[in-house]
Structure 1
Amino acid sequence: MSSKFPSSFAEVRARWREPGGYREVLHIGLPLVAGMASTTVMQFTDRLFLSHYSVESIAAALPAGLASLLLLLTCMGVTGYASVFIAQYIGAGQPHRVGGVLWQSLIASLVFGGLLAMTSLLAEPIFSLAGHAPELQRLEETYFIILQLGSVLSLVGNSLGTFFSGRGRTRPVMLANIAAAVVNVPLDYVLINGVWFFPEMGIAGAAVATVMGWGVTAVLLAIAVFNRDHETRFGVRSQWRFDAVMMRRLMRYGLPSGVNFFMELFAVTWFVFVVGTLGEVALAATNIAFSINSVAFLPTVGLNIAVGTMVGQAMGRGDPDGAARATGSTLHVAMAWMTALALVFVLLPGPLVDLFRPDNLTPAAYADIRETTARLLAYVAFYCLFDSLTIIFCGALKGAGDTAFVMWNMTVGCIFVLIIPAYALRALGWWSLDSLWLVFSVYVSVLAVASYVRFRLGRWRKLRLVHPA
């Protein structure tokens, strides 16, 4: 079945029941969406508490957080691709290969975690390039250093999660992420503000709370993975050794996925740093707009993982038609979610923005930031619909093994549709907050069209990462 939306209730009912239909999408995707929602809550409250703490803290949190996430998600793109191999081995009837794949991902996570910790030494030169005010730069460096030192916990938790997401058993991932949010949210508040016997740490407290949340996820997933039943069925303990052949395959397909994550976050990070040159109001408004946008974006990342799992299992079975059907069903769910959020962004921008008003600013002093952010949410409402296309089609292409296209689509789009046009605006004297946001919206739309065309061409149907037993 194509990605065409059902035109009647009978078609909806039929698509609900069939393999790769809405029921299967929600069965696999809802726990992942709930898990990503808990991550959204963690990030949202993190920035919410910081916005009430001081304007400087919220202005520093997004650039520093994006810089950290830029490096972290690059590594996750590589190690997390184990979920596709696991999905395809399950689909191909080879569960005994799962433990070996998991361990290559864990080994790579430990190596990448060490490298990320070393990047904390580069905090000062990285943030000096932005040209922000000295106090803002100091806060950015503090936040970045703590996140980098604890990033290995996030990588390990992500690798352990591939064992469940690749098999389509996503509830343990959801529960671990919810537990992390339960720990993180109150810690955010008490460490930022210095409540009870905790010291007032400001932006450093937000970073420490985030790292502790990562640790909770990693510990709980480790307990869930390494049990006797999983050892019997998948060899999760006995296959702990380094496997050069499997590691090379993970790197071959995972590295383009990692570069894709890098370019995707680089585009946003670069954009935020550039907006920062327009002044504190523009930067704070952009930070708040992206924070609100994350409410729409992060849950669809759960659907991205879900469609990759369903496509991977279908391709492992040698069933590309089933993969296409699952992709269409997932797209419908994602578009419904994004449309609902886009309406909220357009119709109720004021109440959303007011959540971020710092306690030390009066409504009058906050008026410029409020008005600017409300205007930016119109751009968010427009491009988030296109963003859902990119998220779902790229997830499907990755699930089939077409990671090279996903990498080049993001790289070429970032350079030629975002960065070069933005600097052209500057050369022409049209450099402004609205013109930059317009270019960013066009960039997201172009990525969506390219992803859709690639999927429709169907070259991914001929790819095989594993062969049926």
Structure 2
Amino acid sequence: MKQRLRFNHIPRLLKLAGPMILSTSAITMMQIIDTIVLSYDSSQALAAIGPSSMAVILFQGFLFGTAGYAGTFVAHNHGRGNRQGVIASAWLGIYTALAAGLAALLVAWPLAQLFLLAGHAPQVARDEQTYFWICMAGSLFPVFGSSLAGWLSGIGRPALVTAVTFSSLIINALLAWGLVLGEWGLPRMGIAGAALATVSAQLVAALLYALLFARAGGFSNQAARCLNRVEFRRFLSLAAPMGLRISGELAAWTLFLVVVGRLGTVELAASSIAFRINGIAFFPALGLGQAAGILVGHARGAGRDDEVPAIAWQSLAVCEIWMLLMATLFATAAGPLFSIFAGTSPESAGIIATGVLLMKFVAVYCVFDAANVMIGCVLASAGETRWIARTFAIASGIFVTLLWLIDRSMPDLVAEWALATGFVFCTAVVWVLRFRTGRWREIQLVHRPAA
């Protein structure tokens, strides 16, 4: 009985998962707040928030994935009991965030000009340009916050991440209402106000994380603060592939929506809403995956590699139960769910009818996506980021090529969504097979201290 309880990781998983779910959803929740407020401003701003916010996530996904991977190093050192290594690992994320923030600031304005070439209505294009460059110019704040959120999660303090995230969401909602609509004596700035509200909330979150890090002695620890160039390069060699994988996945699904959009407005609207509804299942699953990754980091850092399979399979079981529940909801209540987003336009009936069909595909791939998310997070925490990035790049290339062939030869919504479901299934199988080989045991993420 004692041996069985020793490997019962589910209670610790669930304790970590709640804050991680909220943290992973923060950016999307802020953009939902901006979208709701902008619906009271203008239809042009409401139209612009979709493409521009997706572009922000696409570019910032690489920065988040790279800087946030410091949390994995923190978890390994925490499991080993190496407090100095914990602080030094957090600084790896901080230095990455500083470099990423500067790079984003330099490219924000040139990249924003691309919206003027998209062929959208002039006012919509200008609004897209404005929202994108303001959010990109402020990339330092969310990326810096991501690195220190990884530090708190890695040392088992996710409740503090929850508190900071809630604070930033409240600030974003209040500022968005004031700056977008000109309430409370603030200037009415439209979509620029929405972007400034988001960046300001991210700045407050970054300051709160910095305060917590300072109270833990992180800034005063001169030895940990000193940049070890060899260790920093090694960190980037493992973290950058993780960032590339996140951006690559976002790019693949963005291209999928672009191709679906060639079929018609109803098909694009239904597919976009289907992805938004799928977020109800995906973000909790991602939070569970990140919580499992922290447990894996603690176990590997403490030299208990034999616990990792139990963590992986127990976490997958929990995630699969969640996904099965969501799949049942999506398959049986697709109509009511779609009616929330479809509006009252003349195309609403067609969007809902198409959406009911698409949610059957979503329900099927949710079952497979549990392994896709969970085992992918476990492998990344174990140090398999380079292999994951290479494999996903190949899989995405095959997916996009087949999607292009379908679009060129027999464009059909069912065929394209069937391909997407097959893509999710195949990547899930590949992750599971890779984990079962045990190759992750050969990777030593952090160096063992000298005896």
TM-score (norm 1): 0.87
| Cα distance in 2, alignment partners of residues 106 and 65 from structure 1 | 25
Which residue of 2 is the match for residue 239 of structure 1?
224
Report Cα offsets for 1:185-223 as digits up to 9, x if no partner.
Answer: 344444444445445544434333322221222122111
Matched, 1:320 2:302: no
Matched, 1:386 2:372: no
Letter in 1 for 2:374: I
Which residue of 1 is the match for residue 426 of structure 2?
446
Q: Which of 152, 169, 174 lines up with 2:157 in the alignment? A: 169
Report Cα offsets for 1:392-419 as digits up to 9, x if no partner.
Answer: 1111111111111110121111111x21
1:337 deviates by 1.9
- Stretch deviating more after TM superposition (383-392 or 126-135): 126-135
Unaligned 5+ residue runs, structure 1? 1-10
Which residue of 1 is the match for residue 249 of structure 2?
264
Which residue of 2 is the match for residue 110 of structure 1?
98
RMSD: 2.8
1:62 deviates by 3.2
Which residue of 1 is the match for residue 24 of structure 2?
36
Letter in 1 for 2:146: N
Which residue of 2 is the match for residue 65 of structure 1?
53
**Cα gap change, 1:345 to 1:42, in 2 (>3 Å):** farther
What SS does the corresponding residue of 1:123 show, helix, strand or coil? Answer: helix
**Cα gap change, 1:338 to 1:319, in 2 (>3 Å):** same
Letter in 2 for 1:290: F
Matched, 1:419 2:400: yes
Which residue of 2 is the match for residue 460 of structure 1?
440
| Cα distance in 2, alignment partners of residues 378 and 136 from structure 1 | 33
| Cα distance in 2, alignment partners of residues 127 and 434 from structure 1 | 30
> How is 1:290-301 mapped onto 2 (pairs within 5 angstroms)?
290-301=275-286
| Cα distance in 2, alignment partners of residues 148 and 164 from structure 1 | 25
**Cα gap change, 1:414 to 1:256, in 2 (>3 Å):** same
1:298 deviates by 1.8
Letter in 1 for 2:315: T
Higher relative contact order (CA 8 A, sep 6+): 1
| Cα distance in 2, alignment partners of residues 117 and 71 from structure 1 | 12
Matched, 1:98 2:86: yes
- Stretch deviating more after TM superposition (44-53 or 382-391): 44-53
The percent identity for this pair of structures is: 33
| Cα distance in 2, alignment partners of residues 82 and 58 from structure 1 | 36
| Cα distance in 2, alignment partners of residues 468 and 20 from structure 1 | 27
> How is 1:68-79 mapped onto 2 (pairs within 5 angstroms)?
68-79=56-67
Q: Which of 322, 333, 336 lines up with 1:337 in the alignment? A: 322
| Cα distance in 2, alignment partners of residues 404 and 427 from structure 1 | 33
What SS does the corresponding residue of 2:139 show, helix, strand or coil? Answer: helix
**Cα gap change, 1:376 to 1:55, in 2 (>3 Å):** farther
Letter in 2 for 1:319: R
1:153 deviates by 0.6
Letter in 2 for 1:122: P
Unaligned 5+ residue runs, structure 2? none
1:331 deviates by 1.3
What SS does the corresponding residue of 1:318 show, helix, strand or coil? Answer: coil
TM-score (norm 2): 0.90
Matched, 1:408 2:408: no
Letter in 2 for 1:306: A
Letter in 2 for 1:458: G
Which residue of 2 is the match for residue 307 of structure 1?
292
**Cα gap change, 1:118 to 1:160, in 2 (>3 Å):** same
**Cα gap change, 1:300 to 1:40, in 2 (>3 Å):** farther
Residue-pair matches, total: 449
